Amino acid sequence: MNDRVCVVTGGNAGIGRAIVEALAQQQARVVLVSRDKMRGETAVQEIHSALPQANIDLVVGDLSSVDKTRQLAQTLLNRYPAIHLLVNNAGVWPTQKQLNEDGLEMGFMVNHLAPFMLNQLLQERLRASAPARIVNVSAGLYVNGRVDLQKTPYGHDFHPIRTYASTKLCNLLCLPLEAAQLAGSGVTINAVHPGVINTKLGIMRGPLGWLMKLVKRSWATPEQGAIVPVWLATAPELAEVNGRYFNEKEETPLAEVAQNTELATQLWQLSLDLTQITAAIS
């Protein structure tokens, strides 16, 4: 990974930060994308304190709207003539309905539409830098998702747990289409459920929130959660593996709910329409 440019979204905390640290230990040039400048700077400073040799750049980027995600992609293209790895790690778990400036439910935007946009807008650069990889950090809860394209993108069917699952399902519905798009290009895309990890996602208030905090104490650490995404990003034996879903280190067929090709095609087209991106399905 020496000097290979690796972009990690949501890299200032949780699994993302652990991924940044692991890639930096392998001598990669890591681009830590953080929505908050101060938190990003703090993360970079703390990592440098522990790993003085770490080669880390901070890019401030917001995935909460179509325009802001487009701006992030343009910043990355302007700064980096080559991009060898994109880890779509950033995610949100809203516990109440939030709409962004586009009128889209925030979980749908950040968990699905933003990585979809980055995959498309950075694709030419990744192809030019091949061999290159895309890793989508997913969640096993996708199996509980139910996607209604008239409701889910706009939060009309919002539920504090099911909506998170549905937005992760959106991401996986598009995985086979993105893999087909990249076939033969030297760029691969795979998705991973990193395990049940103790992060700040899904924090709730009240008695249920306190209960979740207690339960989370028994969950795996972010460092443990980073192991499989980093493996997918770097392992030589996975160089040609494309369009696969891994439950931790076990390659696992997508559940039936994620194999609805008609829904996937409709979601793909809606995602293009919402972002004004032109990208045909191969």
What are the residue boundaries of the structural domains of the chain, listed by start? 5-275
Q: What is the per-residue pLDDT for 128? A: 97
Residue pLDDT tens, the chain, 282 long: 888 999 999 999 999 999 999 999 999 999 999 999 999 999 999 999 999 999 999 999 999 999 999 999 999 999 999 999 999 999 999 989 999 999 999 999 999 999 999 999 999 999 999 999 999 999 999 999 999 999 999 999 999 889 999 999 999 999 999 999 999 999 999 999 987 654 555 454 554 454 444 443 444 687 888 999 999 999 999 999 999 999 988 999 999 999 999 999 999 999 999 999 986 555
CATH number of the domain located at residue range(s) 5-275 in this protein: 3.40.50.720
What ranges make up the beta strands (E) of the chain?
Answer: 5-9, 29-34, 55-60, 85-88, 132-137, 187-193, 245-247, 250-251
pTM check: above 0.85: yes
Q: What is the per-residue pLDDT for 83? A: 98
CA dihedral of residues 1, 90, 186, 255 (deg, nearest 10): 120
Catalytic residues: 164
Joined together, the tokens standing for residue 194 give: 């990193």
Q: What is the per-residue pLDDT for 2? A: 85
Helix axis angle, 261-275 to 66-79, nearest 10°: 80
**At 66, phi and psi to the nearest 5?**
-65, -50
Which amino acid makes up residue 13? A
Q: What is the per-residue pLDDT for 278? A: 80
Q: What is the per-residue pLDDT for 205? A: 54
Q: What is the per-residue pLDDT for 201? A: 52
Q: What is the per-residue pLDDT for 112? A: 98
**At 46, phi and psi to the nearest 5?**
-65, -40
**How many beta carbons lie within 10 A of that of residue 130, not counting itself?**
14
CB distance 142 to 159 below 8 Å:
no
SS3 61: coil
Helix (H) or strand (E) holding 208: helix 206-216
